[in-house]
Amino acid sequence: MKIGIVLYPTYGGSGVVATELGKALADKGHEIHFVTYSQPVRLGSFRKNIFYHEVSVSDYPLFEFQPYETVLASKLVDVVKYEKLDLLHVHYAIPHASAAYMAKQILKTQGIEIPFITTLHGTDITLVGKDQSFEPVITFCINQSDGVTAVSDSLRKDTYNHFGTEREIHVIPNFIDSLPEIKPIDMEVRRMYAKDEEKIITHTSNFRKVKRIEDVVSIFHKINLEVPSKLLLAGDGPDRSLAERMARELDICDKVVFIGKVRDTSNVLEISDLFLLPSETESFGLAALEAMAVGVPVISTNTGGIPEVNIHGYSGYLSYVGDTEDMAKNALILLKDEEKLSVFKKNALERAKDFSIDKVLPMYEELYESVLVKKVV
């Protein structure tokens, strides 16, 4: 199949999922055309069956806001027509689904049929989607998509609750593309951040409000009072300065390491003992799955789709949003008991295997096939 994938190229979960999906499809022999405004962070160097089309909007002084959606729609018309694509798969509803819809209508006037699939990732529905000014367009695009997927059952339900749609929404979870067995920790790397007797607690995110960075620091502070440890923070975003300020106020600056944005978080996760994800909301929690995939148990909230990934008392623990006491207590249960920690590490990896690419890729391929069959009929 020749598939156009539209995505956000930045450090967000939806972009990571879209890029990894495209790479896996390309490895299986499909021809993949990524369409976005800059090189996706996880795309890496050039490889077989993968093509990248950049959308660039000219900076005309009349435009206070650049018309990205219009330029994207035009680019999609061009790529579908000249690369002879079979279908489009857009990740994140805003504005990708409406651009795909417009491209589809334009192409129809030229005798070209192009189905499009929309994958809902979370904030397009739970946060942005709740802003009523987006509602009519998102509802329309969901209804007009030839296939709709959501990354968790929780997100599927949220979509039905917030939008006027009765469209079938297929739940296709996020996935992990490679699952190494737990390797011995590279002590040389570990010693760059912590002493041998210290535990390493990690959090990776885009440091947006929804991630509750203040809770990450507060949980770590409580842990550190009882167990010598270091907090590694990978990523960057609006609330980084809040975390820095809290670390200074709590006098734990020497225990908190701000690593900044990293292209591949697995190196950080591999030296970690626990992963913290105290988010306000999370449609899936890809960061938690990535931690589990290298055998790191997860201390998280029980919000949104997280309970569909992290199993309480098995791969980690779940608490109510904001209950930093409970999250610190759960972390300490594991950090103070080596045997239990090692069982949870194995369990985390086992649980991650349920989300291996081999299981998830065929779900997308099946959906693609069904949409193409409808196109032929």
Half-sphere exposure of 197 (CA within 13 A, CB side): 3
Stretch that binds ligand GMT, among 13-21, 131-139, 177-185, 352-360 (CB under 6 A): 13-21
Residue 149 CB contacts under 8 Å (≥ 6 apart), including other chains: 117, 118, 119, 120, 169, 170, 171, 172, 364, 367
Instruction: Give the chain's largest Cα–Cα span.
Output: 68
From the list 26, 36, 24, the residue with the least C-alpha distance to 1 is: 26
Task: Candidates 285, 295, 297, 316: give the one binding ligand GMT (CB under 6 A).
Answer: 285
- How many residues at the interface with ligand GMT, by CB under 6 A? 21
Does 284 engage in binding with ligand GMT (CB under 6 A)?
yes
The alpha carbon of residue 39 and the mean position of all alpha carbons in its chain are separated, in whole angstroms, by 17
Shorter beta-carbon distance to ligand GMT: residue 123 or 347: 123
Task: Candidates 26, 141, 269, 286: give the one binding ligand GMT (CB under 6 A).
Answer: 286
Cβ 352 to ligand GMT shortest distance, Å? 14
CA-CA distance, 68 to 52, in Å (whole number)?
17
CA-CA distance, 199 to 77, in Å (whole number)?
52
Shorter beta-carbon distance to ligand GMT: residue 40 or 285: 285
Does 121 engage in binding with ligand GMT (CB under 6 A)?
yes
Tell me the residue type at 342: S
Cβ 199 to ligand GMT shortest distance, Å? 26
Half-sphere exposure of 186 (CA within 13 A, CB side): 9
Task: Candidates 21, 79, 210, 367: give the one binding ligand GMT (CB under 6 A).
Answer: 210
From the list 231, 338, 355, 243, the residue with the least C-alpha distance to 293 is: 355
Stretch that binds ligand GMT, among 6-14, 43-51, 56-64, 160-168 (CB under 6 A): 6-14
Binding-residue pattern over the window 264 to 283 for ligand GMT, x denoting contact by CB under 6 A? -----------------xxx
Task: Candidates 4, 22, 122, 295: give the one binding ligand GMT (CB under 6 A).
Answer: 122
Q: Based on C-alpha coordinates, what's the Rg of the chain?
A: 21
Residue 177 CB contacts under 8 Å (≥ 6 apart), including other chains: 20, 23, 24, 357
Binding-residue pattern over the window 172 to 191 for ligand GMT, x denoting contact by CB under 6 A? --x-----------------
CA-CA distance, 342 to 338, in Å (whole number)?
6
Shorter beta-carbon distance to ligand GMT: residue 206 or 310: 206
Q: Around Cβ 348, how many Cβ atoms within 10 Å?
A: 27
Shorter beta-carbon distance to ligand GMT: residue 39 or 105: 39
Does 116 engage in binding with ligand GMT (CB under 6 A)?
no
Does 212 engage in binding with ligand GMT (CB under 6 A)?
no
CA-CA distance, 289 to 295, in Å (whole number)?
10
CA-CA distance, 232 to 269, in Å (whole number)?
9
The burial class, CB within 10 Å (0-12 / 13-18 / 19+), for 187 is exposed
- The two counts, helices (H) then strands (E), for the chain are 14, 13
From the list 158, 49, 40, the residue with the least C-alpha distance to 91 is: 40
Shorter beta-carbon distance to ligand GMT: residue 14 or 218: 14
Residues 16-55 that bind ligand GMT (CB under 6 A): 17
Shorter beta-carbon distance to ligand GMT: residue 284 or 368: 284
Cα separations in angstroms, 101 against 222, 311, 321, 362: 50, 38, 37, 25
Binding-residue pattern over the window 295 to 334 for ligand GMT, x denoting contact by CB under 6 A? ----------------------------------------
Task: Candidates 9, 12, 95, 316: give the one binding ligand GMT (CB under 6 A).
Answer: 12
Binding-residue pattern over the window 54 to 93 for ligand GMT, x denoting contact by CB under 6 A? --------------------------------------x-
Chain residues binding ligand GMT by CB under 6 A are 12-15, 17, 92, 121-123, 126, 151, 174, 206, 208, 210, 281-286
